[in-house]
Amino acid sequence: MRAEAVEFLTAYHQEHDVPGLAQRITEVLDEIDLTGSYRHRGEELVYGSRVAWRQSVRCIGRVRWSALHVRDRRDVTSVAGIARELRQHLAEADRSGRIRSVMTVFAPDRPGVAPRARIWNDQLVRYCGWPAPDDSVLGDPAQHAMTRAVLRLGWRGPDAPGRFDLLPWVIETATEPPTLVAAPRKLIREVPLSHPQYPWFAELGLRWHALPVISNMRLRIGGVDYSCAPFNGHYLSDEIGTRNMGDVGRYDQLGVVARALGTDIDREDNLWREHAALVINQAILHSFRSAGVRISDPHTESELFVRFCEQEERAGRPVYGDWSWLNGSVGWAALHAVHHRYYDTRVPTPNLLPTTRPYDAAGGVGATLRDLHSAAHRELA
């Protein structure tokens, strides 16, 4: 922690030309000696959160990093308080569809013990994956385990399961067990999908939510972990059109759309998958645009990312990136500049790091935060 803190403070003071580095380092190191950790100043937290985005190797939208709106909610530690702040986050990010990038940072983890709060959902808006009779999944197969977890926690669910049922939130803290909180339907914008040329497309009954709010990554700044720090950007069409709708392990719609287009799906030499994916992506862009919801297309996003790379290089910084993630979501990848270069694959901090999910494939629960914190208390006593 000491080394990472020094590195972080140095970067902050240098990048912003803030005086008083030596003094701040002494102060922080003393605080670490005394308490085992240190508290970021408000400005440090904002800077650290933005740099965490700037260094996120999987994100193609990073040109916007310095505009991230950071909500410092480190003093909010109860389930009810966190739920209230998550609702506020949705409202501040949505802005009637003119989506802005927002991060809400809750209390840091207790070093060496456990997070002080944790959200089980991987995103704040997700659709249930219900087991269907023929061993398939109704809804989003990626949420099958989470759906089982919320049922085990006692969620009643809708009377008739559908393909786009909002999952409730599960929030737990150092003193409260995993708790169900209903998703705030009125704050969640959704877009029904239609296609500008094919009237039948709307009849497929597909839809998607406007906001991707990732809620299960750990924000790490200067050696301090914030396991509860949900953040959002806005969508790139391929994330929904190619992956969420197209992947065989997700909504698996390529065959459905290809058949509706009258394409023979028993051969490969007619590129029916590509054709269907293209049509779905057009539908995503068209539907979001008509609904007034911010969305990016792959061509523009690739151009913007190249601009980001140039900015970073001019600032004398490496361009960190994971090629497969950056290109996995930009349509016909080789058409775009982002495809034709390599990236520094290191993951420095500040950053946003993956966490292990708190429930297993059957929705079963492991050790709760409450258990972990009280075990640490007993050890101390």
- Give 73 or 234: the residue with its C-beta nearer to ligand ARG: 234
**Count of residues of this chain found to bind ligand ARG when the rule CB under 6 A is applied:** 11
Residues 157/162/166/168 CA torsion (nearest 10 deg): 20
- Give 222 or 298: the residue with its C-beta nearer to ligand ARG: 298
Is residue 183 within the footprint of ligand ARG (CB under 6 A)? no
Residue 62's nearest CA partner among 377, 371, 338 is 338
CB of 283 to ligand ARG, least distance (A): 15
Is residue 109 within the footprint of ligand ARG (CB under 6 A)? no
- DSSP secondary structure of 105-122: E-PPPBTTTB-SEEE-SS
List the Cα angle 37/65/115 in 5-degree steps.
30
* Residue linked to tokens 């990312």: 305
Is residue 281 within the footprint of ligand ARG (CB under 6 A)? no
Contact positions with ligand ARG (CB under 6 A) in 51-80: 61
Is residue 212 within the footprint of ligand ARG (CB under 6 A)? yes
Is residue 236 within the footprint of ligand ARG (CB under 6 A)? yes
Q: Binding segment for ligand ARG among 10-18, 238-246, 255-263, 283-291 (CB under 6 A)?
A: 238-246
Which residue from 109, 140, 239, 301 is in contact with ligand ARG, where contact means CB under 6 A?
239
Is residue 121 within the footprint of ligand ARG (CB under 6 A)? no
How far apart are alpha carbons 153 and 171 in whole angstroms?
Answer: 11
Q: Which residue is nearest to ligand ARG (CB)?
A: 233
CB atoms within 10 A of CB 341: 12
Alpha carbon distances (Å) from 73 to 84, 88, 98, 133: 11, 11, 23, 44
Residue 358's nearest CA partner among 171, 198, 135, 211 is 171
Which residue from 235, 288, 308, 359 is in contact with ligand ARG, where contact means CB under 6 A?
235
CB of 275 to ligand ARG, least distance (A): 22
* Residue linked to tokens 């913007």: 304
Task: Please give the residue ranges that form the binding site for ligand ARG (CB under 6 A).
Answer: 61, 123, 212, 214, 233-236, 239-240, 244
